[in-house]
């Protein structure tokens, strides 16, 4: 079973920041937080991951709380092309695999 | 290399027929994963390989399903005696794993199977 909890859906206005929350209260010390997204009829796309520090790349920022029990993915200036299902996954690597939950369906509207 | 490639993209088959899907991972990746996704759900893990060794199989992978990765390169997923419940998107992903290094997994575009 997925070890994360996400809201089933969110809306965001184009050009505004989209803040997608994720709860992972049972995360272990060696587990990373990964975010993927899936645009309709395509395979999941990697966005970003982090262990305990905040991370930023060209796609998004990841903010992880100090106790690591929750995180927020931030899309700073959402566009219509960011409409997708966003998955938050905890993953330790090694001999484990990505376990997907139901994700958050983000709708970006004009 | 343009990423993970899956073939075919779409497959329609009659119930009871056998089908085989192919996945070509990113060339230097030693890990290869198979997932299944039904409408409105997140991808469900089926199995994964490290090089040619199949390291784990999900309980979702019934006896009618078999996956291979000969020579540690491409992989095939075969479904025998297909049932309507097998209708889904089958996703392949690859990554690189070694001591001290683990890349993120990259997914292909999937093969959509429809069993009629």
CA distance A40 to A17: 21
> CA–CA separation, A49 vs A53, rounded Å?
10
Residue A92: pLDDT band by 50, 70, 90 thresholds? confident
CB < 8 Å to A5, chain B: none
pLDDT digits (tens, 9 = 90+) for A30-81: 889 999 999 988 999 999 999 998 999 999 999 999 999 999 999 999 999 9
**Residues of chain A contacting B102 with CB distance shorter than 8 Å:** 93-94
State how far Cα A105 lies from the chain centre.
11
Whether A35 and chain B come into contact, CB under 8 Å, resolves to: no
Q: B43, B59, B103: which to substitute to probe chain A, counting the most A Cβ within 10 Å?
A: B43
Contact call for A42 and B109, based on CB within 8 A = yes
The more confidently predicted of residues B8 and A2 is B8
């Amino acid at each position: 079973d997925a070890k994360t909890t996400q809201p089933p859906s969110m809306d965001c206005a184009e050009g505004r920041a989209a803040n997608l929350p994720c709860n992972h209260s049972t995360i272990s010390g060696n587990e990373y937080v990964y975010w993927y997204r899936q645009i309709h009829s395509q395979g999941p796309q990697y966005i970003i991951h982090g262990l305990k520090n905040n991370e930023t790349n060209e796609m998004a920022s990841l903010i992880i709380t100090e106790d690591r029990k929750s995180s927020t993915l931030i899309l700073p200036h959402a566009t219509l092309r960011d409409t997708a299902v966003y998955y938050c996954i905890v993953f330790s690597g090694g001999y484990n695999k990505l376990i997907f939950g139901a994700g958050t369906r983000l709708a970006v509207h004009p | 290399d343009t990423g993970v490639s899956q073939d075919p993209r779409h497959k329609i088959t009659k119930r009871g027929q056998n089908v085989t899907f192919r996945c070509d991972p990113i060339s230097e990746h030693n890990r290869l994963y198979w997932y299944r996704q039904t409408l409105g759900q997140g991808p469900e893990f089926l199995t994964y390989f490290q090089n040619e060794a199949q390291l784990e199989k999900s309980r979702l992978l019934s006896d009618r399903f078999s996956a291979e990765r000969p020579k540690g390169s491409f992989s095939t997923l075969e479904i025998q005696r297909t049932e309507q419940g097998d209708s889904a998107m089958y996703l392949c992903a690859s990554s690189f794993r070694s001591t001290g290094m683990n890349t993120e997994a990259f997914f292909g575009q999937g093969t959509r199977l429809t069993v009629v």
